């Protein structure tokens, strides 16, 4: 199917469901039983749980709530509901074949229902579910990398010269004072992206590229992890417990010097920013620099415009399976001249995850609302493992500031130059 203006909603949904699932099944292909059921980290459920939860969520919302069918696999309800069991109890799983069957049986029924469904009023729900599966599959990538790092498997390398010189890596872009439009009211926006609203920001400067491994090495070399002066009180406390001395996905190989730093907690990002005399951008600062076109006074869905994310624009969708140099995608350029805002690594911002004016939960309170607790920091942009359905400038991700497993880096900002 070639997507065009005349593609009907149903055709689009059919295409997206299949495309998304094809990638999910490809992940399953590479699974062994240990990776399937092991819990590699207390913050992350086993791979098998995510797969069952994808089927459960689709079944709950499309088959039960929309089609009015009875629950197909009531025995899985407790196990796979988002609010069913604590993460540590999600290890008593059916086997891989049973989960694959669960996914397929639900999907067959869903496609049957799609044929007859009155799609227009439900479009938002279907789009939500495609993004829900996409997000859980990104978490599978986190679990994979954790598994690999615990088995000391390192990505096969790569020997090339750094192509972005140190001065260029440090460039900042001035974003002149003025209003922009934050958020997204479209049908594929998740509840936390609405309502769209205007925000005035004073002039600020923001890094043209994410902070690179080469830049971050300077922080490490200057004793960044040994010196409390760069750390906030909470950050230093975290460090005493975490006892880390480098990012989780650190490469000592200098050929990674122009890759973004990946696998840092919010606290490390904050400390580095202070080390270089800068700070983390707020979410609004990040979003304006990535999406606002001051010439036309319009927001762009993607930094480059309206074309959906593809390998031409960014490192996403596990197509490369690791980070790329921060200047690898010249087409990614935003109107203000930032590069690499989508894909590659998520970028921590200084903002707490909080609702916009007029927020309404969708499709359930547990999606966003329960996380508006001033304990989660917003991340923007997506990583090399993010599927295109969830890549856009308005998309908001959130995690506790101590989390390092999520392929996150950052860029810095300043108010005065």
Binding site for ligand AVJ (CB under 6 A): 82, 132, 135-136, 139, 367, 397-398
Least distance from ligand AVJ to the Cβ atom of residue 11, Å: 26
Nearer to ligand AVJ, 50 or 217 (CB): 50
CA distances from 326 to 112, 207, 285 (A): 44, 11, 19
CA distances from 192 to 61, 151, 359 (A): 19, 37, 7
Least distance from ligand AVJ to the Cβ atom of residue 255, Å: 31
Paired sense of beta strands 413-414 and 204-207, if any: antiparallel
CA 235, CA 402: separation in Å to the nearest integer?
9
CB 46 within 8 A of CB 91: yes
Nearer to ligand AVJ, 136 or 259 (CB): 136
Q: What is the dihedral of CA 186, 189, 191, 193, to 10 degrees?
A: -90
Nearer to ligand AVJ, 169 or 405 (CB): 405
Nearer to ligand AVJ, 129 or 211 (CB): 129
CB 103 within 8 A of CB 136: no
Least distance from ligand AVJ to the Cβ atom of residue 397, Å: 5
Tell me the longest C-alpha to C-alpha distance in the chain: 64
Least distance from ligand AVJ to the Cβ atom of residue 2, Å: 30
Least distance from ligand AVJ to the Cβ atom of residue 318, Å: 16
Give the number of residues written for the chain.
417
Nearer to ligand AVJ, 315 or 397 (CB): 397
Least distance from ligand AVJ to the Cβ atom of residue 387, Å: 12
The DSSP code for 355 is P
Least distance from ligand AVJ to the Cβ atom of residue 392, Å: 14
CA distances from 357 to 71, 129, 140, 199 (A): 36, 24, 33, 12
Paired sense of beta strands 178-182 and 397-399, if any: unpaired
CB 339 within 8 A of CB 327: yes
Nearer to ligand AVJ, 58 or 257 (CB): 58
Angle between helices 266-275 and 213-221 (to 10 degrees): 80
Least distance from ligand AVJ to the Cβ atom of residue 149, Å: 20
Nearer to ligand AVJ, 132 or 251 (CB): 132
Residue 159 class from Cβ within 10 Å (0-12 exposed, 13-18 middle, 19+ buried)? exposed
Nearer to ligand AVJ, 264 or 328 (CB): 264
Closest CB to ligand AVJ belongs to which residue? 135
């Amino acid at each position: 199917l070639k997507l065009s203006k005349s593609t009907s909603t149903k055709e689009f949904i059919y295409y997206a469901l299949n495309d998304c699932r094809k990638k999910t099944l490809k992940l399953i292909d590479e699974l062994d039983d240990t990776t399937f059921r092991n819990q590699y980290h207390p913050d992350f459920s086993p791979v098998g749980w995510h797969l069952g939860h994808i089927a459960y969520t689709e079944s709950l919302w499309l088959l039960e709530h929309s089609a009015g069918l009875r629950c197909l696999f009531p025995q899985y309800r407790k196990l796979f509901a988002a609010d069913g069991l604590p993460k540590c109890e999600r290890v008593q799983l059916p086997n891989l074949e049973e989960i694959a069957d669960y996914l397929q049986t639900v999907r067959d029924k869903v496609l049957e229902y799609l044929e007859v469904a009155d799609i227009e009023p439900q479009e938002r729900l279907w789009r939500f579910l495609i993004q829900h599966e996409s997000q859980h599959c990104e978490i599978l990538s986190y679990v994979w990398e954790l598994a690999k790092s615990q088995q000391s498997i390192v990505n096969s390398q790569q020997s090339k010269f750094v192509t972005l010189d140190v001065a260029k890596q440090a460039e900042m872009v001035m974003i002149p004072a003025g209003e922009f439009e934050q958020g997204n009211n479209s049908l594929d926006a998740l509840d936390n992206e609405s309502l769209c609203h205007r925000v005035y920001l004073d002039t600020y400067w923001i890094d043209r590229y994410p902070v690179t491994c080469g830049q971050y090495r300077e922080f490490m070399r200057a004793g960044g992890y040994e010196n409390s002066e760069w750390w906030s009180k909470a950050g230093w406390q975290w460090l005493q417990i975490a006892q880390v001395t480098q990012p989780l996905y650190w490469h000592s190989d200098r050929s990674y010097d122009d890759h973004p730093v990946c696998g840092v907690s919010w606290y490390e990002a904050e400390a580095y920013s202070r080390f270089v005399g800068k700070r983390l951008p707020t979410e609004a600062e990040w979003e304006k620099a990535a999406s606002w076109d001051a010439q036309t006074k319009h927001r762009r869905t993607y930094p480059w415009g309206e074309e959906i994310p593809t390998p031409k624009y960014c490192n996403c969708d596990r197509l490369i399976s690791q980070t790329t140099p921060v200047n690898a995608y010249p087409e990614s350029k935003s109107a203000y001249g930032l590069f690499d805002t989508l894909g590659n690594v998520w970028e921590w911002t200084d903002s707490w995850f909080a609702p916009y004016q007029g927020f309404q939960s969708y499709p359930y309170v547990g999606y966003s609302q329960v996380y508006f607790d001033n304990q989660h920091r917003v991340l923007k942009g997506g990583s090399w493992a993010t599927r295109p359905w969830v890549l856009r400038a308005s998309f908001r991700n959130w995690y506790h500031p101590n989390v390092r497993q999520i392929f996150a880096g950052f860029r810095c900002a300043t108010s005065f130059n």
